[in-house]
Structure 1
Amino acid sequence: MTYKSLFLTASAALVAVAGTASADTWRYAFEEAETEVQGVFAQKFKEEIEANSDHEVQLFPFGTLGESADIMEQAQAGILQFVDQSPGFTGALIPEAQVFFVPYLLPQDEATLQEFFRNSKAINEMFPELYAEQGLELLTMFPEGEVCMTTQEEVRSPEDLDGVKFRVMTNPLLVESYNQFGATPTPLPWGEVYGALQTGIIQGQENPGFFLDSTKMYEVTEYVTCIGHNNFTTAMMANKDFYDGLSEEDQKLVENATDVAFDHILDYQAGLQDKSLENIKSAKPGMTINILSEEERQPFMDTAPAVEDAFIEMTGESGKEILEQMKADLEAANAATN
């Protein structure tokens, strides 16, 4: 072998080693199963990263690394590079994120809702600063579907929730919201909910339709009630030190993969709520599914100002500014789609 051949062979080996060294494994945990909305988003993100780089993304669905609080701690500590978590669980960490639990703030119209999440100044400019203070890079927020209640008894008005022990996430504003609705809010980790309904420790809970279907909440409750009060929101984040340490190329890779997954999950959700409720009815024909009329919803809607006041009291001027900006963003989204 000539000197030139030896040199080229050695150079090729060095390039191969360098390429291997730059190929990292990134860990990404989320709060749902791989077949549920957060899991579908995560799989698309993984697919885009791995198709456009030498990096590998390892996915950790709910339960594999603990409860929601556990994966957030791991993300902040840098054990995880990416995490998907609802503001329902980050409310104690970032109080302003509780704004997503002000009832009747988010629209039911799908086009308006998607326009809001794409272009909201509150989401894209204000929230990233608040997440950064907690060592997190906010990459995106996205809706997961209309939230409905499941209960043992029929709910047609706030009076029907009187005395009902209703599971809520560990979120002070959600507790206040269900206080206003007339229930007895009972914070519980998700892993305990099915058993608590089965044994009567609680008599109700809320979640988006696909989650009621996939987790079989209908097996331990008798009624699904949709009052149009919220659309479940989640946030996809990176550990900030990790993200800031990435090359410009890898940061762009992550941003592009996030954008592709965002578009994918909005398309994926088209018709998902109706299909999920149909699945529930098919699995349990005796299940009663009630979509309340505007007139029936009004007493629930009347509680929203009190919850807004509680939100501002909890979060001060910062929360007030977020709430006002979100309302302005929602007006702009409505104007753009109607």
Structure 2
Amino acid sequence: MKKSINTLLMLSLILIMVAVPTLASTVTLRLGHLSNTDHLWHKACLKLAEEVKERTDGVVKVEIFPNEILGSERETLEGIRIGAADMTITGETLGNWAPKVGILGAMYLFRDSEHINKIASGPIGEEIEQDILDKANMRVLTWFERGPRYLTSNRPIRTPEDAKGLKMRVPNVPWFIKGWQEIGANPAPMAFSEVFTALQQGVMDAQENPLALIDSAKFYEVQDYVNLTGHIRQWIYLVIGEDQYQNLTADQQKALQTAADIAHDYHQKLFFKQQDELRASLEDKGMEFIEADNAAFREKVNNLVYEEFPEYIDLYERIQAVK
């Protein structure tokens, strides 16, 4: 009897010793972002988490915190740098550490989605990602295209001449302010939460945003036209702290990258479908879509980078040269 008990104790001890390393080897990556749970970015993150779990047999878990639960975009980036977070979705804010990211805010830099894909997935994209790694100590896993920004108004805006003197709200971003001034409009920064009332009361004549925000903010109630200026086209990055990435095994790194590639394709498919649906929805709500002379608008801002942002001239010209 005593021998049996000793044998059972020995087997229990062995099982515990086997189990402890397995538990200790599990990894949880905290991914914080600013979007709500209905947003495409969040859906792409869920896809990423699902793929990572499957490809690592549950050893690596991606825990997602939407709605700025881990803090604002900048706060989450700071959190990654000190280990309080691991991953996030981020754009030009990274320019505070990696200057080359700032080029993404340039007006009329990208012609269309095909141009974006060639840059983001090509040598220039790799160069920007290397700048992020070298300067911010963060590794880019993939990128997601953002909806083009369009101008809404209560009169059709087809040419720069039509925009002359237009009182319009813009975010407090130098590219936006300088660019619309060059076009001839009268741009003014304003908190997004105040825009609807400003348009309703005539304090502002116009504003610019992607279709998703035009719809969710109900600008169709106070604006008649969506002018297809497409003045800003860009992407946003899914990043992980380099220290956190290096703490993963080689197989786990491979699984994470594969999952990110799948999440990218998943997002892009949803993105293009959503753009079509948003246009149809806004048209149903009474907004008219106006084709804009984008070549004329682009000509107005062509010299902006040379005059105001000389640090981006080389990168700007190389991006423009890609056909």
Give the TM-score taking structure 2 as reference length.
0.84
Maintained 8 Å contact 1:42/1:261: yes
Are residue 80 (structure 1) and residue 85 (structure 2) matched? yes
| 1:73, distance to aligned residue in structure 2 (A) | 3.0
| 1:278 alignment partner in structure 2 | 280
Note the alpha carbon deviations across 1:250-277, whole angstroms, 9 max, x for none.
3222212211111111222234322211
Q: How many residues align?
A: 318
Shift in CA distance, 65/126, structure 1 to aligned 2, threshold 3 Å: closer
Matched residue type, 2:76: I
Are residue 323 (structure 1) and residue 299 (structure 2) matched? no
Q: Distance in 1 between matches of 2:16 and 2:135?
A: 43
Shift in CA distance, 304/234, structure 1 to aligned 2, threshold 3 Å: same
| 1:306 alignment partner in structure 2 | 303
Shift in CA distance, 184/324, structure 1 to aligned 2, threshold 3 Å: same
Q: Distance in 1 between matches of 2:154 and 2:18?
A: 64
Matched residue type, 2:288: T
RMSD in angstroms over aligned alpha carbons? Answer: 2.9
Matched residue type, 1:139: L
| 1:71 alignment partner in structure 2 | 76
Maintained 8 Å contact 1:143/1:234: yes
Q: Distance in 2 between matches of 1:219 and 1:74?
A: 39
Q: Distance in 1 between matches of 2:216 and 2:198?
A: 18
Q: Distance in 2 between matches of 1:11 and 1:232?
A: 55
Shift in CA distance, 151/90, structure 1 to aligned 2, threshold 3 Å: farther
3-state DSSP class of the match of 1:270?
helix
Matched residue type, 2:85: L
| Superposition map of 1:52-63 within 5 A | 52=55, 53-63=58-68
Q: Distance in 1 between matches of 2:141 and 2:187?
A: 31
Matched residue type, 1:222: D
Q: Distance in 1 between matches of 2:154 and 2:82?
A: 41
Percent of aligned pairs with the same amino acid: 25
Q: 2:110 pairs with 94, 97, 106, which one?
A: 106
| Superposition map of 1:232-271 within 5 A | 232-271=234-273
Greater gyration radius: 2
Matched residue type, 1:47: E
Shift in CA distance, 111/11, structure 1 to aligned 2, threshold 3 Å: farther
Q: Distance in 2 between matches of 1:24 and 1:67?
A: 24
| 1:94 alignment partner in structure 2 | 98
| Superposition map of 1:189-204 within 5 A | 190=192, 193-194=195-196, 197=199, 202-204=204-206
Note the alpha carbon deviations across 1:32-81, whole angstroms, 9 max, x for none.
22222222221211211222333332222234344433333333333221
Give the TM-score taking structure 1 as reference length.
0.80
Q: 1:32 pairs with 17, 35, 53, which one?
A: 35
Q: Distance in 2 between matches of 1:181 and 1:39?
A: 35
Q: 2:25 pairs with 17, 22, 25, which one?
A: 22
Shift in CA distance, 196/136, structure 1 to aligned 2, threshold 3 Å: farther
Maintained 8 Å contact 2:110/2:234: no
| 1:234, distance to aligned residue in structure 2 (A) | 0.8
